[in-house]
Amino acid sequence: MSKKKFEMPTAYTVLLGIIIVVAVFTWIIPAGTYDYVEGTNQPIPGTYKVVESTPQALWEVINAPINGFYEAKDIALFVLVIGGFLGIVMKTGAIDAGIGQVIKKLKGREKIMIPILMMIFAAGGTSFGMAEETIAFYPLLIPVFIGAGYDALTAVGVIMLGAGTGVLCSTVNPFATGVASGFAEISIGDGLGLRLIMMIILLSFAIFYVMRYAEKVKKDPSKSLIFDLKKSNEDHFLGTTTQEIPELDSKRKLILWIFGGTFFIMILGVIPWAYKFNITIFEDINSFFLNLPLIGKILGGMVPLGDWWFGEMTTLFLVSAVFVGKVYGMKEKEIVSVFMTGARDLLGVALIVGVSRGITIVMNAGGMTNTVLYWGEQALTGVGSTAFAIISYLFYLPMSFLIPSTSGLATLSMPIMAPMGEFSGLAKSVVVTGYQSASGVLNLLTPTSSVVMGGLAIARVSYTKWLKFVMPLFITFIIMTIALLALGSIM
């Protein structure tokens, strides 16, 4: 009788297991509390005191995911609406048509195509976490690059490292930065400057890395890491008809503008212009319109850009989804159907947010959260902001492998890690950046990722060859990120 092969449990099972373990710890670890800065949830260092314990039992464990989903309902709803929005945009074929048009125009100039396509994929990764959506582009790009004298690994590098670097930097990615910022109780706009610097530096290096490899292969095909498959790949990819590229017509062009404009408005909406930078232009514009006799009443209680949070962002993406559907000519029933399909695709993410939030609920109810913070405060006293920035990043590297759901990891850890950072004088936004970059860099090579393994399977590249190709970049990214986080800690 053959032994059963071990299978890694799903993220739900892992998180439910953590809830049970945490509940057990509430019977062992003493409860405590801090004094807080007035009007905030920011604990004051040195004010910890022990209080009576409230151990969490079976009923509290069973209810934890439900209560977690209720507490995180604004973030969960935002995730679902984003899913519906992306579902409608992808259904129109606008993104496929836009990238396809770039490929057509650059035919014969494939070397220039490498940086341009990597920047486009990175823009998708950093704005909406483009990952699974890239799978469709492998059959399209691999024949183009092989026909130009490169290899299939070059195409994989362009797609996977382009989008992957964007996700790693996640300037405004709602699924990584947005969720983490929400549970760290800061704006998604906090730390945007550091993430933009990171994006420019890391993406530039990734482009250089792929272009250097591609040029080496073109000059001497035997330098290809998959040279043994050269003839087989040429027969396989060039002997087949490439997929049809949607036409970039006027409707799809307008949809691309709406798509980009939606994310641009979101960025303007979450940057704290007034209270942090004393820039009141959006407050003034908002007041002007609301004070107009008739228009003000029609507009209602409009929130100015800079004061937006999940409610306003959810409304923005919902309106944009309907707008995109109408521009493309969808009927009301089709808009609803496609939106629901897109939301359904991200239902798992929304549920993970709720389940992982249940861990924090059990910790808080058992009085354990502040005790863990106190232990962290004691351990990190004198460490300093730069050291904590590096420590938190190194902590998130193995955690990102154990809990592959970025939203789940953010929900689980941010209520603890962000206040710990503050005890060391580190801005919460740097902790958020450390988390997302650790998660992003692991996703470039983790074998549990369907994006990695799916892309490699289509390109006929073995996982060991991919590791050989990407490992130097992976290590360089870690070193660069540590240096940038250290810089961010003193900015």
Report the percentage of the chain scoring pLDDT > 70.
93
Q: Do 121 and 239 sit in the same domain of this protein?
A: yes
Residue 68 has pLDDT above 90, yes or no: no
Q: Which residue(s) pair with 31 in the sheet?
A: 51
Domain count, the chain: 2
d(Cα 72, Cα 414) in Å, to the nearest integer? 13
Tell me the longest C-alpha to C-alpha distance in the chain.
81
3-state secondary structure string, 275-340? HHHCCCHHHHHHHHHHCCCCHHHHHCCCCCCCCCCHHHHHHHHHHHHHHHHHHHCCCHHHHHHHHH
Q: Is residue 480 part of a domain?
A: yes
Is 373 inside any structural domain?
A: no
Residues 78 and 206 both lie in one domain? yes
Domain that holds residue 202: 73-87+94-245+378-490
Instruction: Name residues whose C-beta falls within 8 Å of residue 379's C-beta, 6 or more positions apart in sequence.
Output: none
Report whether pLDDT(355) > 70: yes
* Of 205-209, 269-273, 320-324, 337-341, the least confident: 269-273
Same domain? For 104 and 228 the reply is yes
Residues 235 and 280 in one domain: no
Question: Same domain, yes or no, for 290 and 400?
Answer: no
- Please report the pLDDT score of residue 399 as a whole number: 77
CA distances from 264 to 119, 261, 271, 403 (A): 17, 5, 11, 31
Q: Judge whether 372 lies within some domain.
A: no
pLDDT digits 0-9 by tens, 210-225:
999 999 999 999 999 9
Task: Looking at the structure, tell me whether residues 102 and 142 fall in a common domain.
Answer: yes
Of 345, 364, 388, the one marking the end of a domain is: 345
Q: Do both 417 and 450 map to the same domain?
A: yes
Q: Is the pLDDT of residue 412 over 80?
A: no
Asked if 233 and 138 sit in the same domain, the reply is: yes
DSSP calls for 358-376: HHHHHHHHTTHHHHHHHHH
- Within this chain, do residues 134 and 265 fall inside the same structural domain, yes or no? no
Residue 281 inside a domain? The answer is yes
- Summarize pLDDT for 422-462 with one digit per residue, the tens: 878 888 999 999 999 998 998 898 876 768 888 888 888 88
Q: pLDDT value at position 331? A: 94
Same domain, 238 and 267: no
148 and 218 share a domain? yes
Residue 383, domain member (yes or no): yes
Residues 298 and 193 in one domain: no
How many Cα atoms occupy the beta-carbon half-sphere of 310 within 13 Å? 22
